Amino acid sequence: MATTRAPRRGRPGYTRDQVLQVAVDVFNQQGYDATSVADLAGRLGLTKSALYHHFDSKEQLLELALDSALGGLEGALDEAMQHSTVAEQLSEGIRGAVQVLTARQAEVTLLLRLRGNSAIELAALQRRRTFDQRVAALVRQAQAEGLLRDDIDAGTTTRLVFGMINSIVEWYRTGGSIDPDRLADEVLTVALDGLRPR
């Protein structure tokens, strides 16, 4: 078994990335738990053993997809934190998160729908919590500096703003009429200035 799985790339028809992309779409459509390797192979028009040339298991596909979503979000926050002021860190952090959500929509959708039914899911949820805590700490700092209102708890503030951001994966259409940069600006405007004209 180990020897037949060795050549992981270059199967005619699909790259590893393409297989992963299709798998994530199927997971999102019918649920990870309800998807079998046979379902994935069927969707790709591959045999199960051809699919195993690309990946070791369904779990590995899940893990890679979640790592792409979380890695993107963490990277965007790391980059935002390079800015020197808390105001910029916050606005670039929000902007960066919107951009990751539009660029890695399927992977983030999978992340947001996790139920924690396996060790891989629990690890991803823990990593997501760590990310949320970093953002909440930034929000708390912005409140302390008077940049954000402090009559709403930093945790609630973070959850509401990320609720707005995360919803984007539900309705954003790649190649549609909404430009990701413009959307990032709009999210920032609603979050900071609200909908009521000043």
Q: Which spans of this chain sit near a second copy (rule: CB under 8 A)?
A: 28-34, 113, 115, 117, 146-149, 151-152, 156-157, 159-168, 170-171, 178, 183, 186-187, 189-198
Task: List the one residue out of 86, 102, 76 whose CA is nearest residue 184.
Answer: 102
CA angle 79, 158, 171 (to 5 degrees): 85
92-111 b/e (C-beta count within 10 Å ≥ 16 → b): bbbbbbbbbbbebbbbbbbb
What number of other Cβ atoms are within 10 A of residue 131's Cβ? Answer: 17
| Residue nearer to a second copy on the CB measure, 11 or 180 | 180
Q: Cβ of residue 80: shortest distance to a second copy, in angstroms?
A: 16
| Residue nearer to a second copy on the CB measure, 53 or 128 | 128
Burial class (CB in 10 A: 0-12, 13-18, 19+), 142: buried
Long-range Cβ contact pairs of 25-29 (< 8 A, separation 24 or more): 25/106, 27/61, 27/62, 27/65, 27/110, 28/106, 28/109, 28/110, 28/113
Q: Cβ of residue 32: shortest distance to a second copy, in angstroms?
A: 8
| Residue nearer to a second copy on the CB measure, 6 or 170 | 170
Q: Cβ of residue 167: shortest distance to a second copy, in angstroms?
A: 2
Q: Cβ of residue 161: shortest distance to a second copy, in angstroms?
A: 7
| Residue nearer to a second copy on the CB measure, 8 or 115 | 115
Report whether 67 contacts 109 (CB < 8 A): no
| Residue nearer to a second copy on the CB measure, 63 or 121 | 121
Q: Cβ of residue 49: shortest distance to a second copy, in angstroms?
A: 25
| Residue nearer to a second copy on the CB measure, 25 or 74 | 25
Q: Cβ of residue 168: shortest distance to a second copy, in angstroms?
A: 7
Task: List the one residue out of 112, 78, 106, 108 whose CA is nearest residue 92.
Answer: 78
- HSE, CB side, 13 Å, CA atoms: give it for residue 142: 26
